[in-house]
Structure 1
Amino acid sequence: MRTMLPAALALLAAAVPATAFAATPIAGRYVTEDGAGVITVGPCGSLTCGKLTTILKKRPGAPDTDVNNSDASLRTRSVLGMPILSEFQDAGKDWRGKIYDPRNGKTYKSIVAKNADGTLAVKGCIAFFCKSQTWRPAK
């Protein structure tokens, strides 16, 4: 009987598939922490991305194009519709990809997670130094 128990457990374990952990979906519309714009997050092919879809507060003198981009060919693209979040993939407990800051033209590694209250915790990182923001759902 003792030798049958391990064999039975092995058969049972083989019959039950392992469950993978998935991050809470982040698709939706979010107002940035400073209230300046709305980012719409959703699928981009097999990945997830977010674009600036509404400008709520335009800074005085702020350009309408991506003038700070290090790629000269992108400096004339409109800020409205610009990809802010790109290449995001489900990493289990959160989403990981890149975030673009049009104010300085730089792209950073990013970690995004949806909070229980529906807000989005957004981090932009250089090495292990991260700056965090909370984006709230847009109405």
Structure 2
Amino acid sequence: MLEFIRKPLLAAVLIPAMTSLPVGVALAQATSPSQIIGIWEAEDGNVKFEMFDAGGSYAARSIYGVRLVEADGKTFKKDTHNPDPKLRDRSLKGIVFITNLAWDARDRRWEGGNMYDPSSGRSLSARVSLVGGKMELRAYMGTPMLGRTMVLRRAQ
């Protein structure tokens, strides 16, 4: 088979097959739901938030984010893209932007979450895994395969 056809064909077959394998279970290291609680930050320092117990599920509130503040780096922006006009004047400081994360003991991760993206006003699905002491926050629309993962560490 011609090389230029073989590689895309292999990618088209292997990538979906590999992403559907249950490797997350083998890699997941969380053993209890409360391990998610605490302050987490991106390795580049551009995002910082607090995960907390929201009474039966887990949620996150913003502490800092490069996209959440004005050019001065201190003043938090308003929630101007919120689909609810009543909320467009609120500050993004301390907003709860992840809700409804529920511990899945079988898969050892938090599933079923909702994540609000203030830069677009859209709501996404979210799930969280702890791997090697780091948090993998996956946000997606529809299927997790079509999402993005942010890797975070516990804040010092």
TM-score by length of 1: 0.73
Map of 1:37 onto structure 2: 47
User: Which has a greater percent of helix?
Assistant: 2
- Give the root-mean-square deviation of aligned CA atoms: 2.5
Equivalent residues of 1:55, 1:80 under 8 A apart: no
Map of 1:51 onto structure 2: 61
Map of 1:14 onto structure 2: none
Runs of 4+ residues over 6 Å off in structure 1: none
Which structure 1 residue ranges, 5 or more long, are not aligned? 1-20
User: How many residue pairs are counted as aligned between the two chains?
Assistant: 118
TM-score by length of 2: 0.66
Map of 2:13 onto structure 1: none
Map of 2:26 onto structure 1: none
Provide the rounded CA distance (Å) in 2 between the counterparts of 1:107 and 1:63.
Answer: 20
Alignment of 1:70-85 (within 5 A): 70-85=83-98
User: Which has a greater percent of strand?
Assistant: 1
Identity of aligned residues (%): 20
2:38 corresponds to 1:28: yes
Amino acid at match of 1:67: T
> Over residues 25-69 of structure 1, what are the superposed CA-to-partner deviations in whole Å (9 max), with x where a residue is unaligned?
211101136522311001112211000023567453896111111
Provide the rounded CA distance (Å) in 2 between the counterparts of 1:67 and 1:34.
Answer: 26
Which structure 2 residue ranges, 5 or more long, are not aligned? 1-30
Provide the rounded CA distance (Å) in 1 between the counterparts of 2:118 and 2:44.
Answer: 14
